[in-house]
Structure 1
Amino acid sequence: MGSVRHRGGETVILHPLVEGAEDAHGNPVEEWGPGVEREKCAIEPRVQEVENELGRSAVVYGFTIYDTFDSPVTDRDEMTVRGIRCKVDGEIARWRNPFTGQAKGSVITLKRVDG
Protein backbone atom coordinates (compact mmCIF):
# COMPACT_ATOMS: atom_id res chain seq x y z
CA MET A 1 0.00 0.00 0.00
CA GLY A 2 0.96 3.62 0.31
CA SER A 3 4.50 4.15 1.35
CA VAL A 4 5.17 7.83 1.74
CA ARG A 5 8.53 7.99 3.46
CA HIS A 6 10.29 11.12 4.51
CA ARG A 7 13.92 11.05 3.39
CA GLY A 8 15.05 13.15 6.35
CA GLY A 9 12.58 11.48 8.71
CA GLU A 10 13.30 9.87 12.05
CA THR A 11 12.84 6.43 13.54
CA VAL A 12 10.11 6.05 16.15
CA ILE A 13 9.28 2.93 18.15
CA LEU A 14 5.79 1.45 18.17
CA HIS A 15 4.73 -0.37 21.35
CA PRO A 16 1.65 -2.41 20.32
CA LEU A 17 -0.96 -3.24 22.93
CA VAL A 18 -1.32 -6.99 23.50
CA GLU A 19 -3.44 -8.98 25.91
CA GLY A 20 -1.35 -10.66 28.57
CA ALA A 21 -2.22 -13.01 31.38
CA GLU A 22 -5.40 -12.76 33.47
CA ASP A 23 -5.71 -10.87 36.74
CA ALA A 24 -7.16 -12.35 39.96
CA HIS A 25 -10.69 -11.74 38.64
CA GLY A 26 -10.15 -13.46 35.30
CA ASN A 27 -9.88 -10.24 33.30
CA PRO A 28 -7.20 -9.98 30.62
CA VAL A 29 -4.28 -7.76 31.60
CA GLU A 30 -3.14 -5.41 28.87
CA GLU A 31 0.59 -5.37 28.19
CA TRP A 32 2.88 -3.77 25.65
CA GLY A 33 4.45 -6.03 23.03
CA PRO A 34 8.02 -5.80 21.78
CA GLY A 35 8.99 -2.48 20.19
CA VAL A 36 8.70 -2.17 16.41
CA GLU A 37 10.82 0.44 14.63
CA ARG A 38 9.04 2.72 12.14
CA GLU A 39 11.70 4.39 10.01
CA LYS A 40 11.70 7.69 8.13
CA CYS A 41 8.66 9.18 9.85
CA ALA A 42 8.12 12.94 9.87
CA ILE A 43 7.70 14.33 13.39
CA GLU A 44 5.88 17.50 14.38
CA PRO A 45 5.98 18.56 18.05
CA ARG A 46 2.64 19.51 19.62
CA VAL A 47 3.20 22.48 21.89
CA GLN A 48 1.12 24.32 24.43
CA GLU A 49 1.90 27.71 25.90
CA VAL A 50 2.11 27.88 29.67
CA GLU A 51 2.53 30.90 31.87
CA ASN A 52 5.40 31.00 34.32
CA GLU A 53 7.26 33.59 36.37
CA LEU A 54 9.05 34.95 33.30
CA GLY A 55 6.00 35.15 31.04
CA ARG A 56 5.05 32.39 28.62
CA SER A 57 6.93 29.44 27.27
CA ALA A 58 6.04 26.54 25.02
CA VAL A 59 5.91 23.01 26.43
CA VAL A 60 5.93 19.92 24.20
CA TYR A 61 2.98 17.78 25.29
CA GLY A 62 3.01 15.34 22.39
CA PHE A 63 3.82 14.82 18.72
CA THR A 64 2.14 14.38 15.37
CA ILE A 65 3.72 11.55 13.37
CA TYR A 66 3.42 11.18 9.60
CA ASP A 67 3.84 7.55 8.54
CA THR A 68 2.80 5.29 5.67
CA PHE A 69 -0.86 4.65 4.83
CA ASP A 70 -0.55 1.03 5.97
CA SER A 71 1.14 1.87 9.27
CA PRO A 72 0.34 -0.84 11.87
CA VAL A 73 -0.31 1.73 14.62
CA THR A 74 -3.74 1.58 16.30
CA ASP A 75 -5.52 3.97 18.63
CA ARG A 76 -4.65 1.75 21.64
CA ASP A 77 -0.88 1.66 21.12
CA GLU A 78 1.99 3.71 22.51
CA MET A 79 5.10 5.06 20.78
CA THR A 80 8.49 6.35 21.81
CA VAL A 81 9.51 9.52 19.98
CA ARG A 82 12.90 11.15 20.63
CA GLY A 83 13.13 9.16 23.86
CA ILE A 84 9.70 10.26 25.11
CA ARG A 85 6.96 7.67 25.69
CA CYS A 86 3.57 8.73 24.32
CA LYS A 87 0.14 7.19 23.81
CA VAL A 88 -1.89 7.44 20.65
CA ASP A 89 -4.45 10.20 21.10
CA GLY A 90 -7.50 9.38 18.97
CA GLU A 91 -8.10 7.74 15.64
CA ILE A 92 -5.37 7.25 13.03
CA ALA A 93 -6.12 9.49 10.03
CA ARG A 94 -5.26 7.73 6.77
CA TRP A 95 -5.36 9.80 3.61
CA ARG A 96 -5.39 9.28 -0.14
CA ASN A 97 -4.65 11.56 -3.06
CA PRO A 98 -8.09 12.97 -3.97
CA PHE A 99 -7.23 13.05 -7.69
CA THR A 100 -5.71 9.59 -8.17
CA GLY A 101 -7.06 7.67 -5.17
CA GLN A 102 -3.51 6.54 -4.39
CA ALA A 103 -2.91 5.73 -0.71
CA LYS A 104 -0.49 8.33 0.59
CA GLY A 105 0.01 8.31 4.34
CA SER A 106 -1.29 8.37 7.88
CA VAL A 107 -1.33 11.01 10.58
CA ILE A 108 -0.84 9.77 14.15
CA THR A 109 -1.49 12.12 17.05
CA LEU A 110 0.40 11.36 20.27
CA LYS A 111 0.14 12.64 23.84
CA ARG A 112 2.89 12.25 26.45
CA VAL A 113 2.50 9.48 29.01
CA ASP A 114 3.12 10.82 32.51
CA GLY A 115 4.23 8.56 35.31
Structure 2
Amino acid sequence: MGWFTETAVRIRAGRTPTRGNPDGVEDWSPGAVDRLALSGLNVQPRVQAESTDDDRNAVITGLRVQSDEGVDLDVTARDRIEWRGEVYQVDGDVARWPDPVVGGVHHVEFNLKRVTG
Protein backbone atom coordinates (compact mmCIF):
# COMPACT_ATOMS: atom_id res chain seq x y z
CA MET A 1 0.00 0.00 0.00
CA GLY A 2 1.36 3.44 -0.93
CA TRP A 3 1.49 6.76 0.83
CA PHE A 4 -0.93 8.58 -1.48
CA THR A 5 -4.17 6.65 -1.00
CA GLU A 6 -6.48 9.28 0.46
CA THR A 7 -9.30 11.01 -1.40
CA ALA A 8 -11.10 14.28 -0.63
CA VAL A 9 -13.51 16.72 -2.26
CA ARG A 10 -12.55 20.29 -3.14
CA ILE A 11 -15.44 22.69 -2.52
CA ARG A 12 -15.27 26.05 -4.27
CA ALA A 13 -17.77 28.86 -3.72
CA GLY A 14 -19.98 29.91 -6.59
CA ARG A 15 -20.57 33.55 -7.46
CA THR A 16 -23.88 35.36 -7.00
CA PRO A 17 -24.18 38.77 -8.68
CA THR A 18 -25.46 41.61 -6.57
CA ARG A 19 -26.78 45.01 -7.57
CA GLY A 20 -23.57 46.72 -6.48
CA ASN A 21 -21.20 43.95 -7.64
CA PRO A 22 -21.81 42.42 -11.09
CA ASP A 23 -18.88 40.03 -10.58
CA GLY A 24 -20.77 38.68 -7.60
CA VAL A 25 -19.99 37.61 -4.09
CA GLU A 26 -18.97 34.18 -2.84
CA ASP A 27 -21.95 31.85 -2.50
CA TRP A 28 -21.36 28.77 -0.31
CA SER A 29 -24.93 27.45 -0.59
CA PRO A 30 -25.08 23.77 -1.65
CA GLY A 31 -26.53 24.52 -5.09
CA ALA A 32 -23.92 27.16 -5.92
CA VAL A 33 -20.66 25.43 -4.98
CA ASP A 34 -18.41 23.50 -7.36
CA ARG A 35 -17.30 20.11 -6.04
CA LEU A 36 -14.30 18.23 -7.44
CA ALA A 37 -12.99 14.83 -6.31
CA LEU A 38 -9.27 14.78 -5.48
CA SER A 39 -7.30 11.54 -5.26
CA GLY A 40 -3.73 10.45 -4.77
CA LEU A 41 -3.38 12.38 -1.51
CA ASN A 42 -1.36 11.92 1.64
CA VAL A 43 -3.09 13.53 4.64
CA GLN A 44 -1.25 13.86 7.94
CA PRO A 45 -2.06 15.53 11.28
CA ARG A 46 -0.38 18.92 11.70
CA VAL A 47 -1.75 20.49 14.87
CA GLN A 48 -4.47 20.01 17.43
CA ALA A 49 -5.13 22.61 20.08
CA GLU A 50 -7.84 23.44 22.54
CA SER A 51 -8.65 26.86 23.89
CA THR A 52 -11.12 27.59 26.63
CA ASP A 53 -12.68 30.71 27.98
CA ASP A 54 -15.87 31.45 29.90
CA ASP A 55 -18.06 31.35 26.78
CA ARG A 56 -16.43 28.80 24.50
CA ASN A 57 -14.36 25.64 24.36
CA ALA A 58 -12.76 25.63 20.89
CA VAL A 59 -10.82 22.80 19.32
CA ILE A 60 -8.55 23.55 16.37
CA THR A 61 -7.56 20.66 14.12
CA GLY A 62 -4.93 21.11 11.44
CA LEU A 63 -3.91 18.75 8.66
CA ARG A 64 -1.15 18.74 6.04
CA VAL A 65 -2.09 17.53 2.54
CA GLN A 66 0.39 16.50 -0.15
CA SER A 67 -0.29 15.19 -3.65
CA ASP A 68 1.56 12.31 -5.23
CA GLU A 69 4.54 13.00 -7.47
CA GLY A 70 3.49 14.57 -10.77
CA VAL A 71 -0.03 15.39 -9.55
CA ASP A 72 -1.23 19.00 -9.69
CA LEU A 73 -4.44 19.80 -7.82
CA ASP A 74 -7.11 22.38 -8.65
CA VAL A 75 -7.06 23.90 -5.15
CA THR A 76 -6.71 27.54 -4.07
CA ALA A 77 -6.40 29.28 -0.72
CA ARG A 78 -10.10 30.25 -0.90
CA ASP A 79 -11.38 26.67 -1.18
CA ARG A 80 -12.71 24.25 1.39
CA ILE A 81 -11.90 20.55 1.52
CA GLU A 82 -14.20 17.74 2.65
CA TRP A 83 -12.25 14.80 4.05
CA ARG A 84 -13.67 11.85 5.96
CA GLY A 85 -17.00 13.60 6.47
CA GLU A 86 -15.59 16.85 7.87
CA VAL A 87 -15.17 20.19 6.10
CA TYR A 88 -11.89 22.09 6.51
CA GLN A 89 -10.71 25.47 5.25
CA VAL A 90 -7.51 25.75 3.27
CA ASP A 91 -5.14 27.49 5.69
CA GLY A 92 -2.67 29.71 3.85
CA ASP A 93 -1.31 29.48 0.33
CA VAL A 94 -1.21 26.35 -1.80
CA ALA A 95 2.38 25.42 -2.71
CA ARG A 96 3.06 23.96 -6.14
CA TRP A 97 6.60 22.57 -6.05
CA PRO A 98 8.39 22.48 -9.41
CA ASP A 99 10.01 19.35 -10.83
CA PRO A 100 13.68 20.28 -11.32
CA VAL A 101 14.28 17.52 -13.87
CA VAL A 102 11.32 17.47 -16.26
CA GLY A 103 9.62 20.79 -15.40
CA GLY A 104 5.99 21.27 -14.45
CA VAL A 105 4.61 20.52 -11.01
CA HIS A 106 6.34 17.86 -8.94
CA HIS A 107 3.71 17.89 -6.18
CA VAL A 108 1.29 20.16 -4.31
CA GLU A 109 1.19 20.84 -0.56
CA PHE A 110 -1.27 22.78 1.60
CA ASN A 111 -2.60 23.00 5.13
CA LEU A 112 -6.17 22.58 6.34
CA LYS A 113 -7.82 23.93 9.48
CA ARG A 114 -11.12 23.21 11.22
CA VAL A 115 -12.34 25.02 14.32
CA THR A 116 -15.18 23.56 16.37
CA GLY A 117 -16.81 24.61 19.58
TM-score (ref. length: structure 1): 0.69
Kindly provide the amino acid, as one letter, of the partner of residue 87 in structure 1. Answer: Q
> In the alignment, does 2:8 pair up with 1:12?
yes
Q: Cα 1:47–1:96, aligned 2, differ >3 Å: closer, same or farther?
A: same
User: Cα deviations across residues 46-87 of structure 1 (Å, max 9, x unaligned)?
Assistant: 223559xxxxxxx76121111265211001010011111011
Q: Which position in structure 1 is the counterpart of 2:87?
A: 85
| Distance of 1:85 and 1:49 partners within structure 2 | 17
Q: Which position in structure 1 is the counterpart of 2:113?
A: 111
| Distance of 1:41 and 1:63 partners within structure 2 | 12
| Distance of 2:107 and 2:4 partners within structure 1 | 16
Higher relative contact order (CA 8 A, sep 6+): 1
Q: Where in structure 2 are the equivalents of 1:3-82 lying within 5 Å? A: 8-22=4-18, 26-27=20-21, 28-32=24-28, 33-50=33-50, 61-67=61-67, 69-82=71-84
Moved more, 25-34 or 102-111: 25-34
| Distance of 1:49 and 1:108 partners within structure 2 | 19
| Distance of 2:67 and 2:27 partners within structure 1 | 24
| Distance of 2:75 and 2:115 partners within structure 1 | 17
Q: Kindly, what percent of the aligned residue pairs are identical?
A: 32
| Distance of 2:88 and 2:50 partners within structure 1 | 20
Give the gaps of 5 or more residues in structure 2.
Answer: 52-58
Superposition deviation, residue 17 in structure 1: 2.5
Q: Which position in structure 1 is the counterpart of 2:55?
A: none
TM-score (ref. length: structure 2): 0.68
Give the gaps of 5 or more residues in structure 1.
Answer: 1-5, 52-58
